[in-house]
């Protein structure tokens, strides 16, 4: 299994976690929006229903107030000219035949129509129906025939809602018997209609003599409710899609630290594998050669020692990079004598053909001592490795180290480097010499953590000068907090 395959596992798990978080956020929003949409639609439907019933109750109340009695019988002439009977609702007036012995006088066409299935011809002894009025016709039953029969004496408009006569009579009978206003939803063919029945009374005896039944078609007013339903459902769908998109973004942002930690771990492993490969190979080859002829062991010991030193430097650099990629808790800037730290680092250089010039001004910076020491040591190691003086048969190096303010300068007499080449040299695993390139890249990261920079410029007389500039006091904490 390759490193790429091993890294793909955590990445797949993070992507799967992001999808699950997005799904959970979307489902939570969907449930909430669905409940809210149901409440809105249900409340609006109930409001339209109540408004329709309230209007029908008002028409029924007005209609009953327009019915009155004289010596000639019940009078309905006020119903013909009133707006309550000329609207979109159907108004029926049903009169009890047994409680008042005379049918209506002056009723509309179709008056005297029997709602019980028996005629009223033999009972209307005092009938004074207008000329040309139709006689009673049986149309259905509402309870037992005979006593308690109902005549429909008034009908407004056309029968646009096909409510059966038996149902209208049953509503009227319930309102009369219980002396209450009845409101119900009744079947009307393949749909449902609203019905309101209100009793009316004789002016002198106050006895219940009939009822007004108002039939309404809910479809005429429910169109607004239907449009609202479509609007709410469409808005809910769009809101759910927006929630899914937002959830994906938020889950990605919440997992960003995990992605960064995974990438940092991969970089750390790659650095370790790349850096450890060379010194380990040198040690192994030296030991293999020395094993074939133990007498040559002293010859190979210096090479093994140099490989061990290189291995130590690699481990320290890798651990330092791990610290930089860790949380801000591992970064501890304190007031530091930069000139003394540089002097101590120069004192650790290996003896040899080395010309070292120090120009150290007293300087106090706010920096992490361990990280700063690694940065200075890497600059010195880079100067020793690549800054050999050209033409020197012994391969000696001339290094000039200076500290001025918050800047450390390390100059050599090597081939030199242009300022525009520095970004390439500070990339990991990019080096023009025999190194790995991790040294300068680590110096650049340490400088950035301190709010500073790493720059390079040509040295007068040949060579290159690398300048490590650390941020002023207090800048390191702010820089680190901004990159954590």
* pTM: predicted TM-score of the whole model, two decimal places: 0.46
Residues with Cβ within 8 Å of 66's Cβ and at least 6 positions away in sequence, in order, are 76, 78, 79, 82, 84
Per-residue pLDDT band for 440 (boundaries 50, 70, 90) equals confident
| DSSP reduced 3-state for 77 | helix
In sequence order, what DSSP letters do the residues of 31-42 get, joined into one string?
A: HHHHHHHHHHHH
Residue pair 217/26 in contact by the 8 Å Cβ criterion: no
Residues with Cβ within 8 Å of 230's Cβ and at least 6 positions away in sequence, in order, are none
Residue pair 471/336 in contact by the 8 Å Cβ criterion: no
Mean pLDDT across 300-312: 72
| DSSP reduced 3-state for 408 | strand
| DSSP reduced 3-state for 402 | strand
Mean of all residue pLDDT scores within the chain: 76
In sequence order, what DSSP letters do the residues of 52-74 get, joined into one string?
A: HHHHHHHHHHHHHHT-EEETTEE
Which of 54-63, 119-128, 216-225, 469-478 comes out lowest in average pLDDT? 119-128
Per-residue pLDDT, 340 = 93
Q: Encode pLDDT of 251-300 as tens digits.
A: 888 887 777 777 767 766 776 666 666 677 777 777 777 777 777 667 76
Inform me whether the pLDDT recorded for 360 exceeds 60. yes
Per-residue pLDDT band for 435 (boundaries 50, 70, 90) equals very low
Residues with Cβ within 8 Å of 434's Cβ and at least 6 positions away in sequence, in order, are 385
φ, ψ for residue 400, nearest 5 deg = -115, 120
Q: Encode pLDDT of 165-213 as tens digits.
A: 899 999 999 999 999 999 999 988 888 889 999 999 998 888 999 999 9
**Residue 145 to residues 98, 141, 149, Cα–Cα distance (Å):** 11, 7, 6
CA separation for the pair 439, 374 (Å, rounded): 9
Q: Which of 315, 221, 227, 231 is nearest to 273 (CA)?
A: 315
- Look up residue 112 and give its DSSP letter: T
**Residue 211, beta-bridge partner list:** 94, 199
């Amino acid at each position: 299994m390759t490193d790429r395959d091993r890294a793909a596992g955590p990445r797949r798990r993070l992507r799967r976690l992001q999808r699950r978080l997005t799904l959970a956020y979307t489902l939570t929003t969907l449930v909430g929006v669905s409940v809210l949409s149901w409440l809105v639609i249900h409340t609006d439907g109930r409001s339209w229903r109540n408004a329709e019933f309230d209007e029908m109750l008002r028409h029924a109340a007005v209609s009953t107030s327009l019915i009155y009695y004289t010596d000639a019988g019940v009078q309905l002439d006020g119903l013909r000219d009133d707006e309550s009977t000329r609207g979109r609702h159907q108004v029926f007036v049903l009169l009890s035949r047994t409680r008042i012995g005379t049918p209506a006088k002056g009723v509309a066409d179709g008056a005297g129509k029997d709602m019980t299935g028996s005629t009223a011809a033999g009972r209307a002894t005092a009938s004074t129906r207008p000329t040309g009025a139709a006689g009673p016709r049986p149309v259905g039953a509402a309870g037992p025939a005979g006593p308690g029969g109902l005549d429909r004496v008034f009908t407004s408009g056309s029968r646009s809602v096909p409510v059966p006569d038996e149902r209208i009579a049953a509503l009227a009978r319930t309102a009369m018997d219980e002396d209450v206003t009845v409101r119900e939803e009744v079947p009307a063919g393949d749909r449902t209609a609203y019905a309101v029945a209100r009793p009316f009374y004789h002016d002198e005896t106050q006895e219940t003599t009939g009822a007004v039944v108002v039939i309404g078609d809910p479809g005429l007013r429910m169109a607004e409710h239907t449009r609202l339903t479509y609007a709410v459902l469409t808005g809910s769908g769009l809101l759910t899609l927006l929630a899914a998109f937002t959830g994906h973004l938020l889950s990605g942002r919440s997992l960003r630290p995990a992605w960064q930690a995974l990438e940092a771990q991969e970089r750390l492993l790659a650095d370790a594998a790349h850096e450890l490969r060379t010194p380990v190979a040198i040690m192994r080859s030296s030991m293999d050669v020395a094993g074939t002829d133990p007498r040559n062991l002293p010859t190979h010991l210096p090479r093994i020692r140099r490989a061990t030193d290189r291995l130590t430097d690699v481990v320290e650099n890798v651990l330092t990079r791990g610290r930089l990629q860790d949380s801000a808790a591992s970064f501890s800037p304190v007031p530091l004598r930069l000139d003394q730290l540089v002097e101590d680092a120069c004192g650790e250089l290996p003896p040899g053909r080395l010309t070292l010039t120090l120009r150290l001004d007293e300087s106090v910076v706010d920096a992490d001592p361990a990280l700063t020491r690694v940065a200075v040591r890497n600059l010195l190691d880079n100067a020793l490795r690549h800054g050999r003086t050209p033409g020197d048969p012994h391969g000696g190096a001339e290094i000039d180290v200076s500290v001025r303010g918050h800047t450390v300068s390390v100059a050599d007499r090597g081939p030199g480097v242009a300022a525009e080449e520095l970004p390439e040299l500070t990339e990991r695993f990019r080096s023009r010499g025999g190194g790995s390139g991790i040294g300068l890249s680590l110096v650049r990261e340490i400088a950035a953590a301190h709010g500073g920079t790493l720059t390079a410029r040509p040295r007068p007389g040949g060579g290159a000068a690398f300048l490590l500039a650390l941020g002023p006091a207090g800048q390191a904490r702010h820089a680190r907090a901004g990159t954590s």
